[in-house]
Amino acid sequence: EAKTTGKNRASQFQPEMASSFKRRTELENEMREGLGSGQFEVHYQPIVEIASRRVVALEALLRWNHPAKGRISPAEFIPIAERSDLISDLGEWVLRSAAADIVRLPSEVSVSINVSPMQFRQPGRLVAAIRSIIEDRHVPAERLELELTESVLVDDTEQTLATMAELRALGVRFSLDDFGTGYASIGYLATYSFDKVKIDRSFASVILENDASRSIVELVQHLAERIGFTVVAEGLESQVQVEAIAATGICLAQGYFFGRPEPIGPLAKRLAVSTVISED
Ligand code: C2E
Ligand code: MG
Ligand code: MG
Ligand code: MG
ipTM associated with this complex:
0.98
Q: Which residues line ligand 1 (CB under 6 A)?
A: 11, 45, 60-62, 73-75, 78, 91, 94, 114, 116, 147, 177-178, 201, 235-237, 254-256, 261
Helix H, strand E, coil C: the string for 225-271 is HHHCCEEEECCCCCHHHHHHHHHCCCCEEECCCCCCCECHHHHHHHH
Q: What average pLDDT does this structure show over 137-159?
A: 92
Ligand 1 atom 37, closest CA? 61
Residue 60 CA to ligand 3 centre (angstroms): 11
Rounded to two decimals, what is the model's pTM?
A: 0.93
| Ligand with smallest separation from the Cα of 63 | 1
> What are the tens digits of pLDDT across the range 251-271?
999 999 999 999 999 999 999
Give me the pLDDT at residue 17, please. Answer: 56
What SS3 state is found at 110?
Answer: strand
Residue 61 CA to ligand 1 centre (angstroms): 6
Instruction: For residue 278, name the pLDDT band (cuts at 50, 70, 90).
Output: confident
Give me the pLDDT at residue 10, please. Answer: 53
Give me the pLDDT at residue 85, please. Answer: 85
- State the chain's maximal CA–CA distance in angstroms: 51
Strands 70-72, 54-66: pairing is: antiparallel
Residue 273 CA to ligand 3 centre (angstroms): 28
Q: Which of 78, 152, 264, 267 to mutate to test the pocket of ligand 1 (most atoms within 8 A of CB)?
A: 78
Instruction: For residue 18, name the pLDDT band (cuts at 50, 70, 90).
Output: low
Exposed, middle or buried: residue 32 (CB in 10 Å: 0-12, 13-18, 19+)? middle
Give me the pLDDT at residue 45, please. Answer: 98
Separation CA 96–CA 145 (nearest Å)? 14
Ligand 1 atom 41, closest CA? 62
Q: Which of 40, 61, 88, 207 to mutate to test the pocket of ligand 1 (most atoms within 8 A of CB)?
A: 61
Q: What average pLDDT does this structure show over 76-88?
A: 94
Ligand 1 atom 22, closest CA? 235
Is residue 88 predicted with pLDDT exceeding 90? yes
Task: Give me the percent of the chain exceeding a pLDDT of 70.
Answer: 92
> What are the tens digits of pLDDT across the range 119-129?
999 999 999 99
Give me the pLDDT at residue 130, please. Answer: 98
Give me the pLDDT at residue 8, please. Answer: 47
Is residue 7 predicted with pLDDT exceeding 50? no
Ligand 1 atom 42, closest CA? 114
What SS3 state is found at 117?
Answer: helix
| Ligand with smallest separation from the Cα of 259 | 1
Ligand 1 atom 45, closest CA? 114
Residue 111 CA to ligand 2 centre (angstroms): 11
Q: How many residues does the chain have?
A: 280
> What are the tens digits of pLDDT across the range 182-239?
776 788 999 999 999 999 999 999 998 999 999 999 999 999 999 999 999 999 999 9
Residue 85 CA to ligand 3 centre (angstroms): 23
The answer to which of 44-48, 50-54, 185-189 has the lowest mean pLDDT is 185-189
Give me the pLDDT at residue 239, please. Answer: 97
Is residue 6 predicted with pLDDT exceeding 50? no
The answer to which of 93-107, 148-162, 178-192, 257-271 has the lowest mean pLDDT is 178-192
Query: Could you give the residue ranges of the DSSP H alpha helices within 112-180?
Result: 117-120, 123-135, 150-155, 157-170
Give me the pLDDT at residue 181, please. Answer: 83
Helices 123-135 and 86-102 cross at an angle (nearest 10°) of: 20
